[in-house]
Amino acid sequence: MEKEYIKISDLNNYIKSLLDKDSFLNKIYLKGEISNFKNHTRGHLYFTLKDDTSRISAVMFQSSASKLTFAPEDGMNVLVEGRISAYPAQGTYQIYVDAMEVDGLGALYIEYEKLKKKLSTLGLFASDHKVPIPKFPERIGVITAPTGAAVRDIMSTIKRRYPLCEAILFPCLVQGEHAAADIVRQIKRADAYGVDTIIVGRGGGSIEDLWAFNEECVAYAIYECETPIISAVGHEIDWTIADFVADLRAPTPTGAAEMAVPTVIDINTLIDNYKIRLNKNIKNMVNTKFIKLRNLKNSYVLKNPLSLYEIKEQKLDNLIETLNKNIKNVLQDKDNKLNKIKLSVVLQNPYNLIKDKKIKFDLLLNTLKLVNPLGILDKGYSLVEKDGKIVKSNKDININDLIAIRLHEGKLKAEVKEITN
């Protein structure tokens, strides 16, 4: 039989068609760790998924990659959903990823970060919402599991430091799916019961163990709690959402009790200190007043009452002297003014006043002469009048009219013989 050679591309395409027909491979869920992660500039992601013994190439196109809620990176454990197909050009098969999420702890961590960011934006961590913890509480509500190290540490520390304070346990679940709701319920109960401070918390554990304290409902219960609240979840390094919302965060349950109550020794020291300050103060005050009193008693006036009069006498003399001096000054002043007036130029030369007026009068008279209409006759001109009116034109005159002629000296009467132009 003749051997039939086929092309590689035909083979690869044939294999691809086989894979694409397989319904199991068309929708597959895969779990693995990311390695060789490459984020192509066009937005497609290329990486390898591997477990302890095997690996498979993976591609996630930009349309799916854009829906990711986290940034994938090497070493991350993920859960993916996709289909298996071949890439004929390379002769490889790979998984085409449609969706991917972080597996296990990573997923919780991402959820934690998301909630933290959200609640922070909503103002649940705002420092101005936090209230101070009472210094000397009489009753503390403790919300934690009734067994284990946490409750023992909190209760015994309160008792040891400050036996005046009553500690009331509000027992609750601190892990598992019902824990969050139970914590919320007990926070509300303690808030309503009437305690000075609330401690809510639990001992250390894995992130899943502490998870209830990262739940949104617990965060809101703490935020809405009227009573000052101290959180104490796990160890120093564990920061839960509850820690951010609480009025005060304690590193450990024992730490919470230490923050909640003072020690008897501290208060005794404080009271002693107050007493010392009081004694010192009252002693100083009495001393000061005593010295003041002694100084007053020793004052010259009290020892020599007559000196009071001496002082007054002297003062009177001073006043009289000042008065005399002042009156003299006033008189002198008036006298000076009078002399000044007497010596003034006008009073000394009254003629000057008249001379001035005379010159002014002559000047006015001359001006008057200049403007007198009759003044012009001086120069040889004459005025012609008819019926008492000055004649300006021959049109006002008829032959045989009687006219009067006014000269510089005297008047003439005349009869008109002829009129010419």
Contact positions vs other proteins (CB under 8 A): 134-136, 138, 146-147, 151-152, 155-156, 158-159, 163-171, 189, 193, 264, 267-268, 270-271, 274-275, 277-278, 281-282, 285-286, 289
Closer residue to other proteins (CB): 102 or 174: 174
> Are residues 219 and 245 in contact, defined by beta-carbon separation less than 8 angstroms?
yes
What separation in angstroms does the CA of 57 have from each of 42, 46, 49, 89, 347? 19, 8, 6, 14, 132
What separation in angstroms does the CA of 359 have from each of 350, 353, 371? 15, 11, 19
Distance CA 350, CA 356 (A): 11
Closer residue to other proteins (CB): 271 or 323: 271
> Are residues 76 and 33 in contact, defined by beta-carbon separation less than 8 angstroms?
yes
Closer residue to other proteins (CB): 164 or 368: 164
**Residues in the chain, how many?**
421
> Are residues 27 and 83 in contact, defined by beta-carbon separation less than 8 angstroms?
yes
Give the shortest CB-226-to-other proteins separation in angstroms: 18
Tokens coding 262: 């003072």
Closer residue to other proteins (CB): 88 or 134: 134
Closer residue to other proteins (CB): 92 or 284: 284
Give the shortest CB-259-to-other proteins separation in angstroms: 16
Cβ-Cβ contacts under 8 Å for 70 (sequence gap 6 or more): 101, 102, 110
Q: Which of 142, 145, 141, 261 is nearest to 203 (CA)?
A: 145
> Are residues 261 and 161 in contact, defined by beta-carbon separation less than 8 angstroms?
yes
Cβ-Cβ contacts under 8 Å for 34 (sequence gap 6 or more): 47, 48, 49, 72, 73, 74, 75, 76, 77, 78
DSSP string, 58-96: EEE-HHHHTT-SS---TT-EEEEEEEEEEETTTTEEEEE
Closer residue to other proteins (CB): 164 or 302: 164
Give the shortest CB-166-to-other proteins separation in angstroms: 4
What separation in angstroms does the CA of 127 have from each of 124, 298, 377? 9, 61, 116
Closer residue to other proteins (CB): 145 or 180: 145
CA angle 128, 134, 139 (to 5 degrees): 130
Closer residue to other proteins (CB): 122 or 270: 270
Closer residue to other proteins (CB): 270 or 323: 270
Give the shortest CB-167-to-other proteins separation in angstroms: 5
Give the shortest CB-315-to-other proteins separation in angstroms: 33
Closer residue to other proteins (CB): 285 or 376: 285
State the sign of the Cα–Cα–Cα–Cα dihedral 299, 302, 307, 308.
positive
H or E segment at 41?
A: none
Give the shortest CB-332-to-other proteins separation in angstroms: 56
Query: CB neighbours (10 Å) of residue 183?
Result: 27
Give the shortest CB-227-to-other proteins separation in angstroms: 14
DSSP single-letter state for residue 10:
H
Give the shortest CB-143-to-other proteins separation in angstroms: 10
Distance CA 257, CA 281 (A): 36
